[in-house]
Chain A
Amino acid sequence: EAGVAQSPRYKIIEKRQSVAFWCNPISGHATLYWYQQILGQGPKLLIQFQNNGVVDDSQLPKDRFSAERLKGVDSTLKIQPAKLEDSAVYLCASSLGLRDIEAFFGQGTRLTVV
């Protein structure tokens, strides 16, 4: 069974530039999550999708972050414009359903904003 795929693995951009991350969840997983992990911290939920609908985006900085999962499968997370404090690892995870507690994580995208 293929795991959660994320790309790119690494990205370096200048502040005020834009960047996008892509995630392909495990086949058949209806629930998709984007987490932000800042160095020295645990992952923090940014947004959660159930199929193509948003379940929770309460911690997503909506003035600069956006995410979509148009066909209920893969998803993109965008930052525009980036700030220095956005430097982090962005983790995508998926689970079978909304109340399936075990989430499977991708390797993450390490973003450095300079």
Chain B
Amino acid sequence: DQQVKQNSPSLSVQEGRISILNCDYTNSMFDYFLWYKKYPAEGPTFLISISSIKDKNEDGRFTVFLNKSAKHLSLHIVPSQPGDSAVYFCAALNQAGTALIFGKGTTLSVSS
């Protein structure tokens, strides 16, 4: 039973354009969401997070939007750069607030 779903395994975008990565969740009790980025042969690194009391959080080129009624969040990268090519994982903090539940990831490829 997947509680955090990333339904697009891959996304290809041209340099300079916007990348939009989507994530859906099933448990309305989740109250914190994070995005991690992972390069090959490295561990995931934290990118950006959002609390359920907000609907938007921005950090430089990265913005996360949260739609609680739809149980949906998205990560926007503007402008996309070739160095952004990686696997992006959406994660939710479990109900105990102690550990992360990850989606399967979306592989982003940004071409120059």
Interface residues as binary, B40-82 with A (CB distance below 8 Å gives 1, 0 otherwise): 0111111001000000000000000000000000000000000
Contacts from B to A (Cβ < 8 Å): 4, 6, 32, 34, 36, 41-46, 49, 89, 91, 93, 96-105
Residue of A nearest to B101 (CB): A45
| A48: contacting residue among B46, B93, B98, CB under 8 A | B98
Q: Whole-angstrom distance from the CB of A35 to the nearest CB of chain B? A: 8
Question: Would A40 and B49 be within 8 Å (CB), given that A56-B96, A56-B98, A108-B43 are in contact?
Answer: no
Q: Whole-angstrom distance from the CB of B45 to the nearest CB of chain A? A: 7
Give chain B residues whose Cβ lies under 8 Å from the Cβ of A93: 43
Overall SS of chain A's interface:
loop
Q: Whole-angstrom distance from the CB of A63 to the nearest CB of chain B? A: 22
Question: Would A48 and B99 be within 8 Å (CB), given that A41-B104, A42-B104, A101-B34 are in contact?
Answer: yes
Which chain A residues in 67-114 approach chain B with CB under 8 Å? 91, 93, 98-99, 101-108
User: At the interface, yes or no: A12 with Cβ under 8 Å from chain B?
Assistant: no
Contact B43–A105 (Cβ < 8 Å): yes
User: At the interface, yes or no: A26 with Cβ under 8 Å from chain B?
Assistant: no
Residue of B nearest to A110 (CB): B41
Give chain A residues whose Cβ lies under 8 Å from the Cβ of B49: 101-102
Residue of A nearest to B103 (CB): A42
